[in-house]
Amino acid sequence: MEYTSLYRRFRPRRFSEIRGQEHVVAALRNAVREDRVLHAYLLSGPRGTGKTTAARVLAKALNCTAVVDGEPCCECESCVSMDAGTSFDLHELDAASNNKVDDMRDLLARVALGTPGRIKVYLLDEVHMLTAGAENALLKTLEEPPDHVVFVLATTEPHKVVETIRSRSQHLELNLLPATELESLVRDVIAEADLDVDEDGISHVVRAGRGSARDALSALDRVVAGGITRDETSTDELLAALAERDTARALAALAAGITRGREPRVTGEALLGSLREAFLIAMGVPPTQLAAADRERAERFAEMVTPVVTTRALEVLGTALIDMRRSPDPRVDLEVALVRLTASEVAGAGDPAVLEALVRRVEKLEVALAGGAAVAVPGSGATPPPPPPPLRRTGPAAEGRARLAAASVESPPVGSPEPAEEVAVQSAAGEEPVLATRPVAEAPAGPATVVTSEELVVAWGGDLLDRLGRKARARFSAARFVAVEDGTAVMALPNEPHMRRCEDMRAELEQVLSDRFGGTVPVRLVVDGDASAPVAPQVVATPVVEESIDLDGLVDADMSEGSTVEKLTQAFPGASLVDPV
């Protein structure tokens, strides 16, 4: 008797035998039980998850003469013929090879013909491969087929199926099997087929299946035939080399895999998949399709390295796999990627310990530079020159800063009576100016600091505005510092209403200034038109002595001087004024 592959020999014959697809099984079995079968179904999912099997079981249940609770009996003539592949009630078409308009027209021409059973089922596999013309030819019949016809469309890429077809069918998605479910299936098949497979072989089968029942049973066939090899892709060695940053070990593992006939791209993809598994486990989201051995390997690698190292390895390997597509020797791209990941000089760039050491070095340099100490350049061998003496700045700005510093030192302590200053007030015309007192604004609590308008402008143009809250940042975005008067920063705003709105946020602005300059910086808000220049102290008006003018010495000014005619004459040399007629 001819040998039958395990995935064909143990293909499910009833809905109850389909594993891991309870939602799909419930929808189809309930539709058969309650006689609510739709005219079209779209089954999608990865390879080997049971799309074609579910369609065949549905066809058996629709034509079975002894249906029990929505399940086919698998003993009547209709069920036996469908299991044997000789039934006229099930028509399977590979849309990948029969994807033209003529192929679809031939199929649709036979749709109205009757069959021995009650329902004729058309199974179109890989329906996303149909051409645009074939899809359009299928649309009308798919939407309104005869009463005795049911369409089942299967695809691994549902996003490539046009929306007009998806909207005319009920979409059911099949999923990959978890590792526990797949291992249970493999053990049941081994027991039923009386196979001799050890635990290592079962682990290899589950690992090779990757959630696909058909791939797992195909791998089981290979294990039974003795075609299993140890560490086929050298993934374990490569992961160990990455964790230990051993370049020689990584290149040796890659060369060993290539010697066994493994393509560099296959090795790179296997390593990338293992790194992804380790990254997910490190993030607390382990994949459900992992076998026990793969899970232990991923957990071991995740404990040896940090997530930063794993993330960088994923990026470098992903780029290498893309470059390998157009490389004359793909092996070189993978070798260069492994060297980048294992060389200590390069791999250490993403290590948190190395980054922390660099931060400490930078902090020491900043402290040394702030204190005026000399910093030697590593490897130069020369003693750095002593720092130059501090420069003494002179000029009006330096004198102003000195006066402000002296004024801040002589300011009265907090809690003293409110001081007053005398100001000269100009009285009515012709009278002598009088002296009046006005209270001085009380400074905020805390030690005052001396800032200049230049420092405020520079800080405001830097990161000072970003330190404010969202609401304050929006209100002060149109403001600008214009001067510093008696230690108080003067901020100009566009108009009076805007200034009143910003007054509520002045305390937050002063707090940010205090944090920035290390002391209290009071702020006074003014309207922009009133603060174009610093306010100068008022001076007592001095009576002006009127000078006697000799009226006989006055002469009339030239009417043409500075007139429009003169300006036009200067703009157009050689022009002359012509009297109007």
Domain residue ranges of the chain, discontinuous segments joined by +: 6-175, 177-228, 233-369, 453-530
CATH classification of 233-369, choosing from 1.20.272.10, 3.40.50.720, 3.40.50.300, 2.40.50.140?
1.20.272.10
Report the C-alpha gap between 152 and 43 in whole angstroms.
7
Q: What is the DSSP secondary-structure string of 329-379?
A: -HHHHHHHHHHHHH-HHHHGGG-HHHHHHHHHHHHHHHHHHHTT---PPTT
pTM attached to this predicted model:
0.54
Q: 162 exposed, middle or buried (CB, 10 Å; 0-12, 13-18, 19+)?
A: middle
Class for the domain spanning 453-530: alpha beta
User: Taking the mean position of all CA atoms in its chain, how far away is CA 15?
Assistant: 42
**Token pair recorded at residue 530:** 């009133």
**Token pair recorded at residue 536:** 């100068």
Report the C-alpha gap between 303 and 243 in whole angstroms.
10
- pLDDT at position 171: 94
Answer yes or no: are the C-beta atoms of 293 and 239 closer than 8 Å.
Answer: no
Of residues 134, 145, 152, 139, the one with CA closest to residue 90: 152
Answer yes or no: are the C-beta atoms of 484 and 524 closer than 8 Å.
Answer: no
Answer yes or no: are the C-beta atoms of 203 and 173 closer than 8 Å.
Answer: no
- pLDDT at position 400: 59
- pLDDT at position 97: 85
Of residues 265, 260, 235, 264, the one with CA closest to residue 250: 235
Class for the domain spanning 177-228: mainly alpha
Of residues 508, 518, 507, the one with CA closest to residue 450: 518
- Positions of the chain with pLDDT lower than 70, given as ranges: 1, 227-233, 344-357, 360, 370-449, 529-566, 568-569, 574-581
Query: Do 233-369 and 6-175 have the same topology in CATH?
Result: no
Q: 283 exposed, middle or buried (CB, 10 Å; 0-12, 13-18, 19+)?
A: exposed
**Token pair recorded at residue 252:** 């040796």
Q: What's the Cα-to-Cα distance from 380 to each of 365, 376, 521, rounded to whole Å?
A: 17, 8, 45
- pLDDT at position 386: 54
Of residues 221, 255, 225, the one with CA closest to residue 238: 255
E-strand ranges in 474-551 read: 480-485, 488-493, 523-527
Question: Residue-wise over 112-150: b if at least 16 C-beta within 10 A, else e?
Answer: eeebebebbbbbbbbbbbbeeebbebbeebbeebeebbb
**Token pair recorded at residue 202:** 């079962």
- pLDDT at position 562: 56
Question: What is the 3-class SS of 290-317, one letter each residue?
Answer: CCHHHHHHHHHHHHHCCHHHHHHHHHHH
User: Taking the mean position of all CA atoms in its chain, how far away is CA 493?
Assistant: 39
Report the C-alpha gap between 55 and 49 in whole angstroms.
12
Answer yes or no: are the C-beta atoms of 412 and 427 closer than 8 Å.
Answer: no
Which tens digits make up the pLDDT trace of 130-182?
988 888 888 888 888 888 899 999 999 999 999 989 999 999 999 999 888 99
Half-sphere exposure of 525 (CA within 13 A, CB side): 21
CB atoms within 10 A of CB 439: 9
Of residues 113, 107, 121, the one with CA closest to residue 153: 121
| 3 state SS of 170 | strand
Residue 150, beta-bridge partner list = 121
| 3 state SS of 468 | coil
CB atoms within 10 A of CB 71: 20
Of residues 343, 318, 171, the one with CA closest to residue 248: 343
Fold of 6-175: Rossmann fold (3.40.50)
Residue 90, beta-bridge partner list = 121
